[in-house]
Amino acid sequence: MRDGWRLALGTLTALPTPPPSAVTRDTARAAVLLAPLAVLPLGAGVVALGWLGERLGLAPLTLGFLALGWLALTTRILHWDGLSDTADGLTASYDRERALQVMKSGTSGPAGVVATVVVAGLQVAGFSGLLASERGAVVAGLAVCLSRLALSLACVRGVPPARRDGLGNPMTGVVRVWHVVALWLLCGGLAAVVTWWVGLPATAVVAGLAAALVVVTALLVHCVRRLGGVTGDVFGAGIELALAAILLGITAAL
């Protein structure tokens, strides 16, 4: 469990973390299941930002951009790089090997830039709608944690790795379907209770998770069809798309 916790923190955040002693399938499974909890400090930062911004009289749009910047800083922009590379690979060629080569190159092409701008804009819009109040700030912080549930979908058994190297290989297929269902129900239920406790409709969290489930599943199906599986870049893309979907789903339901 300790190695799983270290892997989750070291992969999903920029927090100083000792490396795991070994990355086994059990370690990877624990990291995937602990992912929503591992980013709790990042979500807490978003909550604090909302509360502080309200007291300073900052505009919601400004807070939305600051929240985006905070998350980019505290994740080393790793997930954004994955989103950009995934978009470039999926649009570069219908040839699987060529697409994977483009994703591995690390450079951002037109598709990657546009995808990053669009998804970042959607996240800013979602954060802006929630950070206008203290209650909304709490839900915005929850959305950050819930977005990491996307990792469990990408790592469920039956979703193959697209190649035999990189982060995607040791992480894929490490969780069972019942793990995913239990994790989503547990995190969604806790988030719904907290949302209700702060005085907002609990159904908003359900709407956000439903939107994320549809978006991330569509991404994974497309990647398996086009690339033959998933990579570490796809993990990052799924997380950022999930966050945008959850934020917009919640704001639309409020």
How much is the pLDDT for 165? 75
Does 31 reside within a domain?
no
Does 241 reside within a domain?
yes
Phi-psi category of residue 23: left, alpha or beta, with phi > 0 → left and psi -120 to 50 → alpha = beta
Q: How many domains does the chain have?
A: 1
Residue 203 structure tokens: 């159904």
Least trusted range by pLDDT, from 99-108, 125-134, 226-235: 99-108
Does 196 reside within a domain?
yes
- Report which of 124, 253, 141, 126 is spatially closest to residue 194, judged by C-alpha positions: 141
pLDDT, tens only, 160-202:
999 877 666 788 999 999 999 999 999 999 999 999 999 999 9
How much is the pLDDT for 164? 79
Report CA Rg, the chain: 17
Does 71 reside within a domain?
yes
How much is the pLDDT for 163? 84
* pTM higher than the cut 0.85: yes
Does 198 reside within a domain?
yes
How much is the pLDDT for 60? 95
Please provide the average confidence, as pLDDT, over all residues in the chain. 93
pLDDT at 72 over 90: yes
Q: For residue 144, how many other CB atoms are within 10 A of its CB?
A: 27
pLDDT, tens only, 16-27:
888 888 788 999
Does 194 reside within a domain?
yes
DSSP state, 174? Answer: -
Read off the pLDDT of each residue in 127-138 and give the average, rounded to a whole number. 95
How much is the pLDDT for 92? 84
Q: Please state, in angstroms and rounded to a whole number, the distance separating the CA atoms of residues 138 and 117.
A: 25
Q: Please state, in angstroms and rounded to a whole number, the distance separating the CA atoms of residues 178 and 186.
A: 12
Residues 204/140, Cβ–Cβ less than 8 Å: no
Amino acid occupying residue 222? H
Q: Which domain holds residue 92?
A: 39-253
Place of tokens 């950050």: 144
Does 52 reside within a domain?
yes
pLDDT, tens only, 30-62:
999 999 999 999 999 999 999 999 899 999 999
Instruction: Name the β-bridge partners of 161.
Output: 230
Does 18 reside within a domain?
no
